[in-house]
Amino acid sequence: MSLGDFARRWPLGVASAVIIVLMIGCAVFAPVIAPYDPLETDFAAQFSPPTPTHWLGTDAFGRDLLSRLMYGSRTALLIGFVAAFVGATLGAILGVASAYFGGRVDLGVQRLVEIFLAFPIIILALAVVSILGTGVSNVIVAITVPMIPNCTRVVRSSALAVRAMPYVEAAHAVGCGDARTVLRHMLPNVMGPYLIMLTAFVGQAILLEASLSFLGLGVAEPTPAWGLMLRGAAVEFAESAPWMAIFPGLAISLGVFAFNLFGDALRDALDPKLRTL
């Protein structure tokens, strides 16, 4: 299939993939393509509106917004990918194990999942940040924790069907242990829902990081991060310097939009039965 066919078949998927590739490109090549140092302050250029020298304007410290957005994509993607991967993977293993062992283990795991689901996500993240403090790695932990129970629940329901498959019984018959059956035979067969959760989580994680940083409970200054850029001066001086409030929000929205769209396209492609969803 040529690239053109691909684009015709999944127009939304291809569009989102393009945005994601651009974002990753910005993150990887930030030091090369960013016009300024994202931390460099220039008090002569405070609150500069978008001009040919500063394409997207500057902030309260005269830092170049475009450069900060480019470096900010590093923070967003790092947190998004790591949190989503760890959260979805741990959740998937727990979900498959819960379905596989059944009985008391299943009941116990499901109660635990329920307890964590009953905590609103942002509140769980808030508590974790309060304990560990702010900073990129702590924010990753704070965002990962609430994702695990969500993924556990979804993967478990798929794994229950897989559990009843003859090949699981066959694995037992040839003498596979519990760990081998779960990891080698069941886990690969719940890859569909796992991948779907994974892409959905990347978007959610970016959004959650932005919210936490906006509250001052996420990434700490002066690290360039989109949510953090919306905090403080961006709101206080929104009337005279609206670019400070507009562009970081656009970056967040576009990034999350692309990952959500990609997740939808992936689901259509991976699971034609769910095409309707």
Partner 1 sequence: MHRYILHRILLTIPTLLGVAVIVFVLMRVIPGDIVEMRFAEGHFFNQELVDKERARFGLDRPLWRQFVEWLWGVVRLDFGLSMWSGGPIRHEIAIRLQLSLQLALMATMVAVLLAIPLGTLAALRQDTWIDYTVRVFSIAGLAIPSFWLGILMFLFFLIVFQWIPPMVFTPFWRDPWQNLAQMTWPALSVGYRYSAVAARMTRAAMLEVLREDYIRTARAKGLWQSRIVRRHALKNAMLPVLTVFGLEFAFLLGGLVVTEQVFNLNGLGLLFVQSVARRDYTLVQALVLLMALVYIAVNFGVDLLYAWLDPRIRYQ
Task: Please report, as ranges, the residues that interact with partner 1 according to CB under 8 A.
Answer: 12, 111-112, 114-115, 117-123, 126-127, 130-131, 203, 207, 210-211, 214-215, 230, 234-235, 238-239, 242, 245-246, 249, 252-257, 260-261, 264, 276-277
Rank residues 129 and 187 by Cβ distance to partner 1 and give the closer one: 129
- What is the closest distance, in whole angstroms, from the C-beta atom of residue 198 to partner 1 in the complex? 16
| Cβ proximity to partner 1, 145 vs 162, nearer residue | 145
Q: How far is the CB of 217 from partner 1 (least distance, A)?
A: 8
Q: How far is CA 244 from CA 225, 238, 254, in A?
A: 13, 7, 16
Q: How far is the CB of 186 from partner 1 (least distance, A)?
A: 27
**Which DSSP helix (H) or strand (E) runs through 85?**
helix 65-101
Are 190 and 162 within 8 A, CB to CB? yes
Cα distance between residue 128 and residue 141, in whole Å? 8
- Measured between alpha carbons, how far apart are the two ends of the chain, in Å? 25
Q: Is 64 helix (H, G, I), strand (E, B) or coil?
A: strand
C-beta of 146 vs 187, nearer to partner 1 = 146
Q: Nearer Cβ to partner 1, position 44 or 277?
A: 277
| Shorter beta-carbon distance to partner 1: residue 126 or 160 | 126
Q: Give the three-state DSSP class for 134.
A: coil
Smallest separation, CB 20 to partner 1 (Å) = 13
Provide the minimum distance between the beta carbon of 238 and partner 1 in the complex, in angstroms, as a whole number: 5
Q: How many residues are there in the chain?
A: 277
For residues 192, 196, 202 and 207, what is the CA-based torsion angle, rounded to 10 degrees?
Answer: -160
Tokens of 46: 């405070």
Nearer of residues 179 and 277 to partner 1, judged by Cβ: 277
Is-contact 162 189, C-beta < 8 A?
yes
Q: How buried is 266 (Cβ within 10 angstroms: 0-12 exposed, 13-18 middle, 19+ buried)?
A: buried
Tokens of 28: 């990887």
Least separation in angstroms between CB 228 and partner 1: 13
